[in-house]
């Protein structure tokens, strides 16, 4: 695994920059969009680390050129492993107070991430989970909603938490919470494992309405109904 040492990056943001926050992006074969995703993010969050999880395209190079710090797994280990590597990287910066997890495919909104960090900073909770089901902005099909809600029900039952959207990749967490997280589920089940660890830690949490923008590109990268079914199946098998 190759890595670069964290440091505060200088930028000229269009909004006030959040210098005590690291954005962690699991990255796998997203060369088509990752440069734009990072450039958009760094206008508000200058400190971005991409964990390139064994990509076979130019994702790592394009992420680095867009201003992100890049850690590379030599082989594909899965999103859970990529998140844990990103958490470890962010924790190596003593000035880090907050971590945001953000998808590489362009479906998350920077404004939502900023609102979530502001809630952490205001002391609303130690964790803010993004939820696509708290307002009407996200356009997901009925079948997909039903499957994801079934996964939420199963997660709530087995983790002793109460969420409306347990498998949303947009989250914001305090340093103290990140220090306690140790993800061992590398694939789909990592999201429920993360929720379970947060629930077991006693950390306070809230949900934030977020807009998940489904595009033809993001659907082609695993946002299909079948992917949602796979999440539910993996949870039950686990």
Look up the CATH number of the domain holding residue 85.
3.90.550.10
Determine the average pLDDT of the residues in 96-109.
Answer: 96
Mean of per-residue pLDDT scores for the chain: 84
Q: To which residue do tokens 């923008």 refer?
A: 213
| Residues spanned by the domain of 119 | 21-237
Q: Flag whether pLDDT at 80 surpasses 60.
A: yes
Task: Give the per-residue pLDDT at 133.
Answer: 85
- What does DSSP assign to residue 155? H
Q: Which two tokens stand for residue 160?
A: 């002793």
Reported as a single tens digit per residue, the pLDDT across 9-65 is: 443 434 457 899 999 999 999 999 999 999 999 999 999 999 999 999 999 999 999
Task: Give the per-residue pLDDT at 183.
Answer: 95
Reported as a single tens digit per residue, the pLDDT across 202-218 is: 999 999 999 988 777 76
Residue 10 domain-assigned (yes or no): no
Kindly report the number of other CB atoms within 10 A of residue 51's CB atom: 30
Question: Distance between CA atoms of 175 and 158, rounded to whole angstroms?
Answer: 25
Task: Give the per-residue pLDDT at 234.
Answer: 53
Residue 194 domain-assigned (yes or no): yes
Residue 207, SS3 per DSSP: strand
Question: Distance between CA atoms of 191 and 183, rounded to whole angstroms?
Answer: 9
Residue 75: burial class (beta carbons within 10 Å; 0-12, 13-18, 19+) = exposed
Reported as a single tens digit per residue, the pLDDT across 125-182 is: 999 999 988 876 755 554 455 555 555 556 565 567 778 887 889 999 999 999 999 9
Residue 7 domain-assigned (yes or no): no
Task: Give the per-residue pLDDT at 140.
Answer: 55
Q: Structurally, how many domains does the chain consist of? A: 1
CB 183 within 8 A of CB 86: no
Q: Which two tokens stand for residue 226?
A: 């079948």
| Band of residue 226 on the pLDDT scale cut at 50, 70, 90 | very low
Q: Flag whether pLDDT at 220 surpasses 80.
A: no
Half-sphere exposure of 200 (CA within 13 A, CB side): 11
Residue 54 domain-assigned (yes or no): yes
Residue 15 domain-assigned (yes or no): no
């Amino acid at each position: 695994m190759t890595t670069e040492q964290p440091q505060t990056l200088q930028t000229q943001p269009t909004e006030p920059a959040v210098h005590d926050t690291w954005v962690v992006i699991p990255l796998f074969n997203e060369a088509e969009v990752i440069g734009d995703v990072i450039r958009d993010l760094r206008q508000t969050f200058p400190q971005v680390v991409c964990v390139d999880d064994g990509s076979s395209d130019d994702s790592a190079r394009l992420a680095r050129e867009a201003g992100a710090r890049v850690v590379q797994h030599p082989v594909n280990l899965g999103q859970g492993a990529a998140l844990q590597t990103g958490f470890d990287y962010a924790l190596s910066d003593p000035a880090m107070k907050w971590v945001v997890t953000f998808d590489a495919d362009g479906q998350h909104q920077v404004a939502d991430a900023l609102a979530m960090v502001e809630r952490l900073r205001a002391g609303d909770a130690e964790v803010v989970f993004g939820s696509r089901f708290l307002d009407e902005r996200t356009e997901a099909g009925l079948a997909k909603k039903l499957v994801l809600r079934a996964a939420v029900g199963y997660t709530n039952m087995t983790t002793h938490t109460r969420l409306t959207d347990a498998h949303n990749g947009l989250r914001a967490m305090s340093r103290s919470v990140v220090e306690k997280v140790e993800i061992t589920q590398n694939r789909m089940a990592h999201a429920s494992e993360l929720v379970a660890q947060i629930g077991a830690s006693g950390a306070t949490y809230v949900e934030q309405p977020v807009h998940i923008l489904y595009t033809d590109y993001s659907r082609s990268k695993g946002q299909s109904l079948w992917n949602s079914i796979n999440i539910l199946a993996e949870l039950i098998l686990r």
